[in-house]
């Protein structure tokens, strides 16, 4: 099972880096989102893919699942959602200002000269 997760994490990292290196803002945002999902899967895989009962003390249960990686990943999902929403707002504002979402050829000096 770890091999499948390793391949999935590698694929998410590969696609995420490819999208981040593109010129469109929307692709860059989607690339960062894919990278964070890859990190979430990596953390879950590093914690160990084991089966067990919920971490509630009861009689007869010998194997418990570790809740700490799940709590860290849940926190990371919430933070990455907020960051992605902020990126979308900034990209929309840049699109309104410039009329395109391409980041190639954008100079601050050119904008100041036109003002």
The count of structural domains within the chain is 1
**How far apart, in whole angstroms, are the C-alpha atoms of residue 1 and residue 11?**
16
Q: Is residue 44 part of a domain?
A: yes
Q: Which pTM was predicted? A: 0.76
What 8-state DSSP symbol labels residue 64? B
Nearest to 36 by CA among 82, 76, 96, 88: 76
Q: Does residue 19 sit within a domain?
A: yes
In a structure prediction context, what are the per-residue pLDDT tens digits for the chain, which is 115 residues long?
788 989 999 999 999 999 999 988 999 999 999 999 999 999 888 887 777 666 677 777 777 777 888 889 999 999 999 999 999 999 999 888 888 888 876 666 555 556 5
Q: How far is CA 56 from CA 32, 62, 67, 80, in A?
A: 36, 11, 10, 29
Judge whether 20 lies within some domain: yes
Query: What pLDDT is attached to residue 106?
Result: 62
What contacts 13, CB < 8 A, 6 or more positions away? 35, 38
Task: Give the domain CATH number at 96.
Answer: 1.10.287
* Range(s) of the domain holding residue 10: 2-50+69-114
């Amino acid at each position: 099972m770890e091999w499948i997760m390793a391949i999935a994490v590698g694929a998410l990292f590969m696609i995420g880096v490819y999208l981040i290196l593109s010129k469109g803002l929307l692709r860059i945002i989607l690339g960062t989102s894919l990278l964070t999902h890859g990190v979430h899967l990596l953390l879950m895989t590093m914690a160990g893919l084991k089966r067990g009962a919920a971490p509630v003390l009861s009689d007869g249960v010998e194997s418990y699942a570790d809740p700490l990686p799940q709590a860290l990943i849940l926190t990371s999902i919430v933070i990455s959602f907020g960051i992605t929403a902020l990126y979308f707002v900034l990209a929309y504002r840049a699109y309104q200002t410039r009329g395109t979402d391409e980041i190639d050829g954008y100079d601050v000096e050119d904008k100041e000269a036109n003002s």
